[in-house]
Structure 1
């Protein structure tokens, strides 16, 4: 007997509230697939809205071809963001205990300029961008040791936990080629990761274009003013209390997060 999406949501909600990771569902239910994962994610979104949280946008995951190959998928996956996930850099240390196994990663983020309900191609997608900014996503898989398959991570809302936004917003035309922007992640002053924007599908705007296809397929609307995280530029860095993380993306600024 397969695991019902609503039951998976209940298990993951408990894992989140108790900060106790669980074993991946697909170990005992290998039949679970992408559609099932999104159905379980929808239960999570509905529960959050019922608690008073407001959906503010979306995030993409598996935006590197290497990660897609490891997961056996051909396209990125999508999760949602709520206002309760937004945290200031100064608040992270106080909230660190809310997460079981937090990691931090640099992202290029977009704020949309108009409602999106239909697919938009890469040549036109820039017209739907109001601004672009640096974000630090905090992920926290509810699965033991970050071991999951596609259905698991979708049910877990792509490991979404928190997001720190840099204060500066930029016009897309002023930033230049997003794929060429250099990125570094330093831990206590030592650089541990380097990348360019091309790490996200070769062009971060491609992530936003693919999101429009997902939104249209779900018969939903991504409202103007939505926040969209295009996907991690580097591997995620484990977070530990008392540690300082400096994330820099050329042309977008920097963020210092103290855990």
Structure 2
């Protein structure tokens, strides 16, 4: 399976709202670099069709997500303007996805361009603002069953995202102690703290900076970065309401 063939297969499945068997079922020798080669073709095609890359996203940064997806390291994808969803339009968007799930995230807005590896202190200085966010994931693979190359090729299952108001915390160290609750229809189904993201959410920026440096890429100032899910995702079902609460960052509530 060449990267070009895989990109075409993923694009066709996305358009038809159907899922595929993981590519690694047929070829277990596929590796992480192959996945990023497919992702690069996907990004180039989206840009060619008029989408604009507005940020990046980290995936599988929490132990809960890594255990559920049987993947043992963080991964990186991209965000475009088309993926941004306003709370009032989520219900109209849900039918366009095949097997959507929603998960709570901490989002950063960058104060500077990212292109070289950052220390944790440098990552803090690279933050202009923070907000509570939700990511909608929609894997192209049957039953969310995949290996690392598959999910990287699928742009880390990225489908959509929603963000709350921008905050500018005076002490970013506190992000590790932020308490997060995910409610579905008024019932708390998952809880976590910011430390679920690699021990501290700022480490997501460190990991992203290292990823960009290895590939000679730059993320411009003012970009949005989703640091990764704090908890496991839950199915996004029509008629349900999802509320994410984070101490110090606020609340995001949306109906599907």
SS of residue matched to 1:177: helix
Q: Say which SS state the counterpart of residue 171 (structure 1) adopts.
A: coil
CA distance in 2, matches of 1:159, 1:131: 25
> Is residue 229 from structure 1 mapped to residue 226 from structure 2 by the alignment?
yes
SS in 2 for 1:154: helix
Match of 2:70 in 1: 71
Query: In the alignment, what sits opposite 2:134?
Result: 136
- Secondary structure at 1:191's aligned position in 2? strand
Matches of 1:82 and 1:230, distance apart in 2: 16
> Who is 1:193 aligned against?
190
Aligned counterparts of 1:202 and 1:176: Cα–Cα separation in 2: 11
TM-score (norm 2): 0.97
Q: Distance in 2 between matches of 1:211 and 1:221?
A: 10
Residues 174-215 of structure 1: per-residue CA shift (max 9 Å, x gap)? 565101000001111011011110110110000111100000
Structure-1 residue corresponding to 2:254: 257
Residue number in structure 2 paired with 1:26: 24
Alignment partners' CA distance in 1, 2:111 and 2:166: 13
C-alpha change, 1:175 and 1:209, in structure 2 (3 Å) is closer
Structure 2 Cα separation of the partners of residues 175 and 209 of structure 1: 14
Corresponding residue SS for 1:59 = strand
State the partner residue of 1:12: 10
Q: Which of 127, 143, 150 is the aligned partner of 2:125?
A: 127
Q: Residue deviations 1:100-138, cap 9 Å, x none? A: 000000000000001111101112211100000011000
Q: Do 2:35 and 2:153's aligned partners in 1 also have CA atoms closer than 8 Å?
A: yes
Distance 1:45 1:251 in 2: 34
CA contact (8 A) 1:126 1:172 kept: no
CA RMSD of aligned residues (A): 1.2
Mapped to 2, the partners of 1:190 and 1:89 lie a distance apart of 20
| 1:209-251 deviation line (CA, Å, top 9, x unaligned) | 1100000001011100010000000100101111111111111
More displaced stretch, 171-180 vs 120-129: 171-180
Cα distance 1:53–1:72, how it changes in 2: closer, same or farther (>3 A)? closer
Which residue number in structure 1 is paired with residue 169 of structure 2?
172
| TM-score (normalised: structure 1) | 0.96
Does structure 2 retain, via aligned residues, the 8 Å contact 1:175–1:252? no
Give the gaps of 5 or more residues in structure 1: none
Gap change, CA 1:52 and 1:247, over 3 Å in 2: same
